[in-house]
Structure formats: structure tokens, C-alpha cells
A and B are shown apart, each in its own frame.
Chain A
């Protein structure tokens, strides 16, 4: 056990609880709870967006992927970096103008409200469920490893803290926890990058020469290899990485926290600056780790296996670079990251239940704020408990496919419906629901039959569908279905009245 790591960990828990206490005193109505009162500044929202986008996967996962596969890992960083710009180009200011608290507000502006909200809430909850379980299982494993706590206790701890932030502090606490975490992560990343570069005399070429010379297949690390083996999966992955972010409910929800469209745009400029810099820097972490950890018996065991698994590469790198102090700091940052992202996801899920389903569908908007707030808090507790239970149920499982599933579903269901409802006047309610549902089912079904589940989870020898992720089929299918059903419906006798 590392005393510095534990002190950092306790400091973060104390700080986030202080933020929650402060936010709870300032959270009075639904606007405070779902959207932090709509008073978040551009820079603050930019940091919170960076916090949401840079999950533990972005730091620990990408460093591990680059360490293992060189440029094939860096492909993910490049792809993820295109996600946030797409959100600003297509959605950010329209969300701010057309919606109030959730993305279902936006899709139901021009369409029939009740079915659109049911669809929106259901699709959001599916995306959130997969994303949340993957984060929770990753969190439990990481905390078990870093602090030597039992997995179940670790999951319950993360779940309990997350319920506490969201239930008492709502969006205000979630946003500030996210801002603190983003600052810690950017500072930690910068420190690691400087320490790595220092070893190579601040010469990137020397770093890459080092990486290429310590591995037998060295030159292969410097350019994509996997894409040529399965070209269509590579294109499919590119689509998922690029458009998935634009369908993630907890990211979309951030745009309701800023006062107006201009603040929405400006916050993405800040967010993109932080996110792009961090993703670009993952090359330094990953390629640096290839050189620095090579032949280090405390990080890479016999047979070339990373001790603690591939996600621990960044943690080993921090320890080798800066001893126990860096190890403690980076572990604490990783922990803060997980807490902040799961809190954002839970809040997005709770709003889908209380705002879309309860307040708008069940009570048709005839609800007082205090009651809606109470339902939202109950939904938070229920979702949190469910996440803890699922996290424990999936202990030790390979859950990597869940993140890619969340992205595939997001860009095959929520994203097409959202984009078409904003940009295409011809979209009908039936078209939107048919397209979004078929996209969701196609993404889900093809993932089950694909390499990441059929082979890696169920243990069959060969996948039924080799495309992984299935976005190249499911995303165009969703758009096509939306279009086809809308057109056939409009060709039919009755034209829908254009509800403005």
C-alpha cells in the first residue's frame, strides 16, 4: 500500500464531497439539478466537456493500446479527437436553442412528443447502461489493484460516491467534479509528457527511434497495420469514433448548462483545445512507455505480459518516471476520472427517467418541480444500485466490447434521429422511431454476432459477422430506415401537419 496514493485518494474524495455539499445548498429547482442553473461559463463547460470526453479509457486505455500496438493504438486517439468538433458543427447550438434538459427535448420539438420521448429515453438508457457498466467494472479492477481493496468493496465505494454526488448536488456537483478532474488530468498528463520527453532530450525523433529499436517488429509500430488486414472494420471503427460522441447523452446534456448558443460554441472551442492536446499527447505516453518500460521487471513480467494488465501501463510509467509520488498522483487522477464520468452518466440516465418519462410522458408536463426533483433523486439511487449490481455481476469479464457497443448504438440510434430531426423537415415520428430502433437493434445484434462477443465472450471459433464494430452497416441502415419510412408515410394520403 502506498501512503501517498491513499492520501491523494482521500483528498479527492474530501474535495468532491465538499463540492457536493456546496452544490446541494445551491440546487433548488429542476433547472439547477439538470442544467446547473444554465449559468456555467464557456471555459468551465469546456473543461467539463473535456472531463466527460477524457474518460479513464482515454488515459489508461489509450496508453495501453499504444504500448501494445504502436500506431494501431494511436488510431483510436485520432478518431476520438474528431468526435467533439462534429458535436459543435452539427448539434451544440441547436441543442441549446431547441432543448431544455435532455436531447429528447430536441427530437420532440417538431415530432409527436410522447413516442419520441419514450424512444429517446429508452435509447439513452441503453447507451448509458453499457457505458456505465464498462466504466464501473474498469473502476473496480483498477481500485482493487491500486489500493488493494476487494473488488466488490471498490465497486460499492465508487457507486456510493457517485450516487451521493448526483443525488445531492445534481448537475452543479457533477460539473464541478468534472472540472476538477479535467484540471488534474491535464496537469498530470502534462507532467508525464515532460518527464518522458526529458529522458529523450526533448527530441521526439529520438523517442520514436527508441521505440522502434526495442521491439523486434519495431518499424511496424510507426504506421497502421491492422487496417490493411480488415479494411471494412477499420472504416467502421472510424465512423463509430467520429460520430459516436455526438450520440452520447451525458455529452449532449452539457450544452443545456450554458446560457446561450454563443456560450455553447465557445465552450466547445475550449473543450476541443484540451481534448485534442491530450489525445495528441497520448503518443508520448504510449511510445515513451514502449522504451521506458522495456526490460523493466517491475512493470513487464516474464513472457512480456504487463503486470496488472494492459490498462496499467500508464500507472507503471508514472511510477518508473517519478516514484511513489507520481504513482500516487496518477492513481488519484485515474480514480477521480472514473468517479466524474460515472456521475455524468448517472445524471443523464436519471434525467431520461424523471424528465422525459415521468414528467413529460406519464404526467404530460403537469408536474411540480419539487416532485420531479424527488423522482430524479430516486432514479439516481435506483440507477446507481443497478450499476453496482451489474458491476459486481460482470467482475472479471472482458467488458471492452461494452464501450464500443455504447459508441455503435449511439451513432446508429440517438445520433441519426437527432441530426435528422434538426436538419430534415421531412422526418416523421414513425420514421424517426423506426430508424432509431432498427439502428439500435442492428448495432446490438451485429455486435453479439461479431468478433468482440461471439468469439471473445462466447468462445466460438469464428464470428458470424466479421465487421467489428458494426457501424458501417448499422449507421447507414438507421438513416435509410428513417428516410424510407418517413417518405412512404408522406406519400400516403394524409400529410402530417407541420407542427412547429
Chain B
């Protein structure tokens, strides 16, 4: 199955591909974390520093939460910038309404 986005809406700043890529990264990291817990629990139970209390489970789990937020910010910044560029281009060339 090929995922082919519809022609972008005139004011669509975030292209479908950007959103799909961000989804793939977050899903990949989160499902890897889950799979580690399911198939290699001893890795997640190991402390980060020998004798320390923080396990890799905490580091990676908080990492997933942080990654979700960071990717959201990156996505919004890129999409907003593209939208501004597209709107500016449209204002310059009134005949062409393409976003990209």
C-alpha cells in the first residue's frame, strides 16, 4: 500500500511526509522500548551506573515522553515556516496557488 497524500490544501504548511516521518520516529522508538521490556527485560532493569538506582527503564521511558514533545515542537516549527513561505509565494504569484 502506498501512502499518497492528497494534493496539499492551499494553506497546508506541514506536508504529509513530514507528519508521517515524525510518526514513524516516535512509533519506532516507543515500540522498541516496549519490545525491550517484553523480550529483553534484563536490559531495562540494569542500572545506568553500576550500583545506581536509575534503571535504563526510567532513562528510556522519560526519553520517549521527551521525544514526543521535542518532535511536536520541531514539526510545528517546520510546518509553520513552510506555510509562511507558501503564503508569501502565493502573494507574489497570484496565478499559481500551489503550496510547494
Contact = CB atoms under 8 A, between A and B. Distances in A.
Contacts of A61: none
Contact of B76 (A224, A227, A265): A265
B1 interface: yes
Interface residues of A, number: 56
Interface in B20-34: 20, 22-23, 26-27, 30-31, 33-34
Interface in A106-158: 110
Contact of B6 (A81, A234, A422): A422
B65 interface: yes
Interface size class of chain B, counting residues whose CB lies under 8 Å from the partner chain: 35 or more
Given A78-B64, A235-B31, A262-B80, A89 B23 contact: yes
Contacts of A425: 4, 6
A81 B68 contact: yes
Given A78-B61, A78-B64, A483 B1 contact: yes
B13 A79 contact: no
Interface in A222-270: 222-225, 227-228, 231-232, 234-235, 237-238, 242, 260-262, 265-266, 268-269
A423 B1 CA distance: 11
A245 to B, nearest CB: 11
A234 B37 contact: yes
A212 B38 CA distance: 22
Contact of A272 (B2, B35, B37, B69): B69
Given A81-B64, A90-B23, A93-B13, A208 B54 contact: yes
A118 B4 CA distance: 26
Contacts of B79: 93, 265
Nearest to B8: A97
B97 interface: no
A79 B6 CA distance: 30
A469 interface: no
A261 B58 CA distance: 35
B46 to A, nearest CB: 8
A422 B14 CA distance: 13
A94 B79 CA distance: 12
A209 interface: yes
A90 B68 contact: no
Q: Which of B26, B30, B76 has the most CB of A within 10 A?
A: B76
Nearest to A238: B34
A209 B53 contact: yes
A398 B95 CA distance: 62
Contacts of B22: 85, 89
Given A81-B68, A227-B34, A235-B31, A265 B57 contact: no
A103 interface: no
B93 interface: no
B62 A280 contact: yes
A88 B16 contact: no
Contacts of B62: 280
Contacts of A75: 34, 37, 61
Contacts of A88: 19, 72, 75-76
A261 B11 contact: yes
14 contacts: A81-B64, A82-B64, A85-B22, A88-B75, A89-B23, A89-B75, A94-B12, A223-B37, A225-B41, A227-B37, A227-B38, A268-B76, A423-B3, A424-B4
Q: Which 5 A-B pairs have the closest CB atoms?
A: A231-B38, A223-B45, A224-B37, A227-B37, A89-B19
Interface of B: 1-6, 9, 11-14, 16, 18-20, 22-23, 26-27, 30-31, 33-35, 37-39, 41, 44-45, 52-58, 61-62, 64-66, 68-69, 71-73, 75-76, 79-80, 83
Given A82-B27, A89-B18, 10 more contacts: A71-B55, A85-B71, A93-B13, A222-B58, A223-B41, A231-B35, A265-B79, A272-B72, A283-B58, A424-B4
